[in-house]
Amino acid sequence: MKNKRANHIDEHSKNEQLETFRTDDSGKGMTTNQGLKVSEDEFSLKAGDRGPTLMEDFQFREKMTHFDHERIPERVVHARGYAAHGYFEAYQSLEHLTKAKFLSEKGKKTPVFVRFSTVVGFRGSADTVRDVRGFATKFYTEEGNYDLVGNNMPIFFIQDAIKFPDLVHAIKPEPHNEMPQASAAHDTFWDFVAHNQETAHKIMWAMSDRALPRSYRMMDGFSVHAFRFVNAEGKSHFVKFTWKAVLGVHSLVWDETQKIAGKDPDYNRRDLYEAIDRGDYPEYELGIQVIPEEDEHKFDFDLLDATKLWPQEDVPMEIVGKMTLDRNVDNVFAETEQVAFHPGHVVPGIDFSNDPLLQGRLFSYTDTQLIRLGGPNFHELPINRPVCPFHNNQRDGYHRQTINKGQVAYHRNGLANGSPSPVPEEEGGYAHYQEKMEGRKVRARSGSFEDHFSQARMFWNSMSPPEKQHIIEAFSFELGKCKEMVVRQNAVDMFARVDRVMAEEIAGHVGAQQPDAAIEQVNVTKSSAALSQEKTIKSAKTRKIGVLIGEGFESADVQVVLDAIEAAGAHYEVISETQGKVAGTDGKELAVDHHFSTTDPVIYDALYAVGGPSISPKFAKKASKFLGEAFDHFKPIGATHEGMKWLEAAQMMEQPGIITGSEMPAFSGAFIDAVAQHRFWERQVE
């Protein structure tokens, strides 16, 4: 498929603005950074061809000095990331709720830049680790940049930002040996969890399949915090934002993630890049949950508690727009690494709640950009520049790019007729919502924040049986990696408050004592249908299918299946004994994308086994390995012709998700339906 080209969105298109800064060096003569043409770039300037290098070699000094300074500090968290450009289109006007212009008109399009990330690992860690995923969106609006900085889980570990350094210190590699990398499966993290039980709800999410997304294109994003919408009349509503993946929410399985980390540590970023490159643009609908200010205290949870979600049964979600990512970055460093997000980058009509975790983030994000990007002018980097003009009296500093004219750089002034001058609220100037505040200055937590287990239990109640089993297995792995038995025991006892049977099974797996009889499971029967991935959208669209095929395959039959795969919007790769071409019965050839050693079954969503009449024993052995691993990971498998013999030999026939047949139209339809199902948990061994 030819790559689709992104359309310019409007006169403020970020793509158009970035063209000023893009360069293509192909076909160009080499110069220094000062524009001096370079005649030789292989050898440094020496005193004789075997003599010492001379200090006057300015070309060498410039090249080496730049190289020595090419790296900037990686993010403390969210270091491992990948990003793309796109646009957001509003489905309707939200003027009754907010003054924000990008939400004010049906059909209005706004350029966006989205960065996805893991949280814990260093920049060079693998994509598929068990972790929270960052989902940060920068809207380049006509009123300034608006950053919606969230995660793929709707809640957080802690309630107050002052504990964030402790959380990160605990979950990062242990300082005495800097292990393990990109993993929470160690003593310091689980010791923190047991002694900070506000983490209970988030841990349930982190042990669930949501922590193992199949793709950035197949995960939701959440604002986590309650924000405020404020309309032109000054009316305030609390709001939470959710990005809903149009392809649904799908995950990998744990054994699969570990193998992918070795086979393709770039799995998620490669998936995003290749999908956009071939025109399968990722799409996410924007949902909002809105609570009138006067209803703030009408729920059994505190709206300001970042460890609590707003159940959709209590606060319905309304879909108000869609984001489409349609252009890959041109340079990962200049765009993905240098982009600077901040939850405090807002526009008129969007304001903050008093969530103490959010309040701390409003300080922390600016502070971290200063050290990471080298100074206060990070907003002038091309990827961070707003599409609207900006004017103020800020001057100088590292990496200043703006050349400010005139003698005045202060307010108030007479020499410049008072400019730049504040803009009245009625003309678009930002004004904070005037919330009435009263109370004593205290270091304390509201009593309404003290229930740590009810929503953790609600999450457990909402899971399907396979999802519950995966959570138990995740706990068993994580705690089983802890060296100290007291750490394992404390965690088992803590989660007996969520579900005693779950905790008892975990205890049996990790060698801990059964929870004390005095520990009471929280009495909550509530569940929420939106929390289980079993109820997500299921489609074969954009799925990746491996086709195991050999010389002499039945050309006509196979072509029917391949056509059905493409018609469903899925994609296939041909796998055979050698790369090059493989010929069918009518002489028609297929290009072979991989031989068995250049790919792996964990890379595919499904397999289609065809074989051929003259395949070697080595081919059959490799194919059987592929099929066995896909079977163990609950993936759909289709087989026709010689491929069915492999399934028979492995005793896989007549199993859920195993599709066989000789009538091609019927087989093709059944196989595509199975691919859409994604996993067949009925094969799970209890």
Residues 553, 504 share a domain: no
Q: Among this protein's residues, is 196 annotated catalytic?
A: no
Residues 6+ apart with CB under 8 A from 417: none
The CA-atom distances, in angstroms, between 37 and each of 21, 53, 100, 588 are 21, 21, 49, 53
* Residue 6 pLDDT grade (very low, low, confident, very high; cuts 50, 70, 90): very low
Query: Is residue 51 assigned to a domain?
Result: no
Residues 518, 557 share a domain: no
Asked if the model's pLDDT at residue 9 lies above 70, the reply is: no
pLDDT digits (tens, 9 = 90+) for 230-258: 999 999 999 999 999 999 999 999 999 99
Residues 464, 566 share a domain: no
Q: DSSP 3-state helix, strand, coil percentages of the chain (rounded to 5)? A: 35, 20, 50
Asked if the model's pLDDT at residue 386 lies above 80, the reply is: yes
Residue-level pLDDT at 8: 43
Residue-level pLDDT at 23: 86
d(CA 117, CA 646): 40
Residues 544, 463 share a domain: no
Q: Among this protein's residues, is 151 annotated catalytic?
A: yes
| Count of C-beta atoms within a 10 Å radius of residue 396 | 10
Domain boundary among 513, 534, 555: 534
Residues 464, 556 share a domain: no
Query: Is residue 240 assigned to a domain?
Result: yes
The percent of residues in the chain predicted with pLDDT above 70, rounded, is: 98
pLDDT digits (tens, 9 = 90+) for 444-456: 999 999 999 999 9
pLDDT digits (tens, 9 = 90+) for 530-558: 999 999 999 999 999 999 999 999 999 99
| Count of C-beta atoms within a 10 Å radius of residue 552 | 17
Mapped onto helix, strand or coil, the DSSP state of residue 228 is strand
Q: What is the pTM of this model?
A: 0.95
Residues 521, 586 share a domain: no
DSSP 8-state code for residue 285: E
Residues 545, 525 share a domain: no
* Distance from the Cα of residue 212 to its chain's centroid: 10
Residue-level pLDDT at 63: 92
Query: Is residue 492 assigned to a domain?
Result: yes
d(CA 84, CA 135): 12
Q: By residue range, what is the domain housing residue 485?
A: 457-534
Higher pLDDT, 530 or 5: 530
CATH number for the domain spanning 492: value is 1.20.1370.20
Asked if the model's pLDDT at residue 11 lies above 50, the reply is: no
Residues 546, 517 share a domain: no
Residues 6+ apart with CB under 8 A from 498: 200, 204, 453, 456, 457, 460, 521, 522
Based on the structure, what is the number of domains in the chain? 3
Asked if the model's pLDDT at residue 288 lies above 50, the reply is: yes
Domain boundary among 359, 380, 401: 380
Query: Is residue 156 assigned to a domain?
Result: yes
Residues 6+ apart with CB under 8 A from 621: none
Asked if residue 300 lies in contact with residue 454, where contact means CB atoms within 8 angstroms, the answer is yes
Domain boundary among 380, 396, 425: 380
d(CA 14, CA 3): 20
Give the chain's length: 686
Closest by CA to 272, choosing from 218, 236, 321, is 218
Phi/psi of residue 347, each to 5°?
-125, 165
CATH number for the domain spanning 226: value is 2.40.180.10
Residue-level pLDDT at 116: 98
The CA-atom distances, in angstroms, between 169 and each of 135, 313, 315 are 22, 36, 35
Query: Is residue 43 assigned to a domain?
Result: no
Residues 526, 565 share a domain: no
Query: Is residue 669 assigned to a domain?
Result: yes
Residues 341, 194 share a domain: yes
pLDDT digits (tens, 9 = 90+) for 600-651: 999 999 999 999 998 899 999 999 999 999 999 999 999 999 999 999 999 9
Residues 512, 472 share a domain: yes
Query: Is residue 447 assigned to a domain?
Result: no
Mapped onto helix, strand or coil, the DSSP state of residue 617 is helix
Q: How much is the average pLDDT of 510-529?
A: 97
Catalytic residue among 151, 152, 196, 490: 151
Q: How much is the average pLDDT of 391-412?
A: 93
| DSSP bridge partners of 251 | 213
Instruction: State the Rg of the chain over Cα.
Output: 28
Establish how many alpha carbons lie within 13 A of residue 587's alpha carbon, considering only the half-sphere containing its beta carbon. 0
pLDDT, the chain, mean: 95
* Residue 10 pLDDT grade (very low, low, confident, very high; cuts 50, 70, 90): low
Catalytic residue among 78, 186, 201, 452: 78
Query: Is residue 30 assigned to a domain?
Result: no
Residues 592, 577 share a domain: yes
d(CA 474, CA 212): 11
| DSSP bridge partners of 133 | 118
